[in-house]
Amino acid sequence: MEELDSLLRDKVRMLGNALGETIERHVGKAVLEQIETIRKQAKRARNGDAEERDKLLRLLKGLSDESLVPVVRGFNQFLNLANIAEQQHGVSWRREEKISDGVDHMFSGLLDRLDKEGINGDALTRKIAKANIELVLTAHPTEITRRTLIQKYDEISRLLQRRDDLREDHPELGSLELKISRLIDEIWHTDEIRKVRPTAVDEAKWGFAVIENSLWYAVPRLIRTLDKELGKRDASSLPLNAVPVRFSSWMGGDRDGNPNVTSTVTREVLYLARWMAADLFLRDIEILGSQLSMAAASHEFKTRYPGREPYRDCLHELRTRLEHTRQWAQAKAAGEESRKQPMLDEKDLVDPLTACYDSLVGCGLDHIADGYLLDTLRRASCFGLTLVRLDVRQESGRHAGVLQELCEFYGWGDYLSWSEDKKQEFLLKELASKRPLISDDWTPSEEAAEVLATMKVLGEPIGQGVSCYIISMASEPSDILAVALLLRASGLKYPMPVVPLFETLSDLEQSGPRMEKLWQVPWYREYSQCRQQVMIGYSDSSKDAGQLAAVWAQYQAQETLSRVAEEQGFSLRLFHGRGGTVGRGGGPAHRAILAQPPGSVKGGLRVTEQGEMIRFKFGLPEVAARNLKVYVSSVLEANFLPPEKPREEWRQLMHDLAADGVQSYRAMVREHPDFVSYFRAATPEQELGKLSLGSRPARRRSGGGIETLRAIPWIFAWTQIRLMLPAWLGADTALERQIDGGRLGTLQEMYAEWPFFRTYIDMLEMVLSKADGSIAEYYESILVDPSMQPLGSLLRQRLAHVRDLVLQVKEQTELLQDNLALQHSMQVRNPYTDPLHYLQAELLFRERQAGDLVSDEVEKALMVTMAGIAAGMRNTG
């Protein structure tokens, strides 16, 4: 087996040594020796030898309470440092790969293929400019690592990049490594577990920080690389206002099941976004003011700014207006009044910058114009005065509840009991009415008042920072019409896009017919101007039906929606609610986009980016620019070089697989009498609430079974014990039946020729490579009552069996045969994650036995094991 890239190995070794020195310096040599002894024994125990594993377990059980926390923290921090090294090394120019950079090669190769299809020159520029990609930053599966530690990790990454630039004998090398060592010291003395759950405003500020520290620089960097590729092909540069990728956010707007997101929170977040946008542009203006000192200007520009330094005069005016905007936003966010006049129109920001640019170009100073000024113009087009547009999301039942109260007040009847046709008739009648819907005499309930208060925010000037209103658990056209009516009644003067979110298996299956019904309503056609966004839910559909049935339902829903939209004359944009893990629809962006049905990306692409994946993919400018380029490349390829439609035989086989998969999944999750009890006993699901992960509760409502649990803790819990059940349960039965039925050859053909099926199988393989039945069995042996252990044995047998089935479909002898990088990465991590798993099981046992009398050391160590395992797996939920 090939070794890891020696440069990466050197970085991991250097960081590991620095961590060891920190531990020895602050905790003692004895603890460092304990950690090293455990690590070496964990490596030996990986060969499956029971005696070696028993030695490891004896070492772990022999840890004193005093050394428990430092040992666990040592393993946790090494895994975090290994992640940093891998992430930074991915963008290092010194990587030992002799071939061209993968992303650059992918993009240039795509442009060559497009050229052969006749898409070149200015036509190619126009296609890239209209890529229409929007990434929506979400916090609900949330980042397990504290923001203060993220900042230190990012600084280590930046220092590693500088270290790459120096020769081994460079005089600054020692001081760089000393800075890294000091940062690791700081990290060691910083509590990695949050004591206080972050608020929704805290989450929004974290999202703003990602823009401030990374995306602000990544966007112009991306467009420069795109322009460079276009220039090589004699195509014009992208227009000044062209931004193929934009950003939105759910942080502070997603109130579905989160009582902590209120109208007050949404208003504050909208003002804070304005403050941050003004502040960032002020920093740019400061730099431009020092650069644009020249006197040469076009006649038109000179007429408006007749001074000796016209560009500085122009920028001074802009600076003053931005300062007023910042002061206004700061006051309003704090709930205070402000006399400052803010900039609310994007033109007020873009026009002065464009005038400077055009004047410089007109004077032959193109080289100066295309410098930092061009970057600022790109940012203005991408982020504007709102920084990031906010999505507001609410559950459909909350809107129905408001209408129920209104109908009761006016004596119109029982809205909730009406048929769908009667609801639509009522809503359309009210939408056509000239009189106000809401009477001053009506006193709504607290819940209804909050729904209307949020809608009122959208009607205020600050509401311009909201991109759309999403309805979760949408199932009928009346859900969309109800929101349109309530928005208008709350004072909104323009037709805000209303986006239904289809999440459950049945809703996905009915999404096409239901939208067709809505799109035939004349009032709605005029309201929407025949443009529609529909959100496809990945998390809840997977939890509802299992991953196999969910991905097929999502695929078919997209096909149907795309076809019906075209028939009804609607421009459709699909919004993919994907999570970071495969169990929540995650996976590499390039392959995931190409796996979508042909034609489904025609209206552009909108997709959520969540939790810790935001940091991994967009936390550093270089990494972010590369990942943004992947999105642009993938959307272009999906639109202009789409795969062939699947054969009917493949579709039928996929239908059979999905039917068997959902039946098998639900038979276990919903019908097995011991399943819920086993889940709660074997996993740390009950203890997750102590982690203060995010502002949103783990459950939609208290009590109940799996159906009340959110997708995030559901997947987090199974990941912690390495059973990874949500990603594969049901696929084992489905694949077995088809293979036993003599259809292995067809499955292999589908894998080779159908991107959708190949992506699903590859993602399944990746999850299975991270699963470990022996670790799950250890949790069970300590935590689960013997009467329920036969269920665990059955699940592990099914896990082993699905591995064999996937290998048959892929025609391989071992998992990850063609993904050595991930194989190596897991090999490096296992000696660090294995002890955390075994310790976590022991600590869960101790905590459950002790109850309220559990020691602080045990509680703290347990929380750290959760963080460490999440770091080792590279994801949480």
Catalytic residues: 140, 543
Place of tokens 């088809």: 738
Backbone angles phi, psi at 544, to 5 degrees: -75, -40
Q: Are 383 and 319 in contact (CB under 8 A)?
A: no
Tokens of 865: 């094991």
Q: Which residues contact 794 (CB under 8 A, 6 or more apart)?
A: none
- The partner residues of 699 in beta bridges, in order of sequence, read 709
Angle, vertex CA 596, rays to CA 595 and CA 599, nearest 5 = 130
For residue 444, give the nearest of 493, 403, 485 by alpha carbon. 403
Backbone angles phi, psi at 307, to 5 degrees: -70, 180
For residue 9, give the nearest of 853, 857, 827 by alpha carbon. 827
The 8-class DSSP code of residue 254 comes to B
Q: Residue 298's CB: how many other CB atoms inside 10 A?
A: 16
Q: Are 385 and 344 in contact (CB under 8 A)?
A: yes
Concatenate the DSSP letters of all residues of 264-286 into one string: HHHHHHHHHHHHHHHHHHHHHHH
Element (H, E) at 492: none
Distance CA 631, CA 628 (A): 5
Radius of gyration of the chain (CA): 28
Residue 598: helix, strand or coil by DSSP? coil
Distance CA 108, CA 426 (A): 55
Element (H, E) at 392: strand 389-395
Amino acid identity, residue 508?
L
Residue 70: helix, strand or coil by DSSP? helix
Burial class of residue 513 in the structure, from the number of CB atoms within 10 Å of its CB (0-12 exposed, 13-18 middle, 19+ buried): exposed
| Strand pairing class (605-610; 571-577) | parallel
Torsion of CA 458, 460, 461, 464, to 10 degrees: 10
Residue 268: helix, strand or coil by DSSP? helix
Distance CA 737, CA 506 (A): 24
- Burial call 438-462: b when 16+ CB within 10 Å, e when fewer: eeeeeebeeebebbbbbbbbbbeeb
Distance CA 840, CA 687 (A): 11
In this structure, is the dihedral angle defined by the CA atoms of residues 563, 564, 566 and 572, taken in order, positive or negative? negative
For residue 350, give the nearest of 376, 313, 369, 368 by alpha carbon. 376
Distance CA 69, CA 27 (A): 11
Distance CA 677, CA 435 (A): 55
The size of the chain, in residues, is: 877
Residue 526: helix, strand or coil by DSSP? helix
Amino acid identity, residue 428?
L
Question: Both ends of the chain: CA-CA distance in Å?
Answer: 31
Q: Which residues contact 738 (CB under 8 A, 6 or more apart)?
A: 653, 656, 657, 660, 744, 746, 747
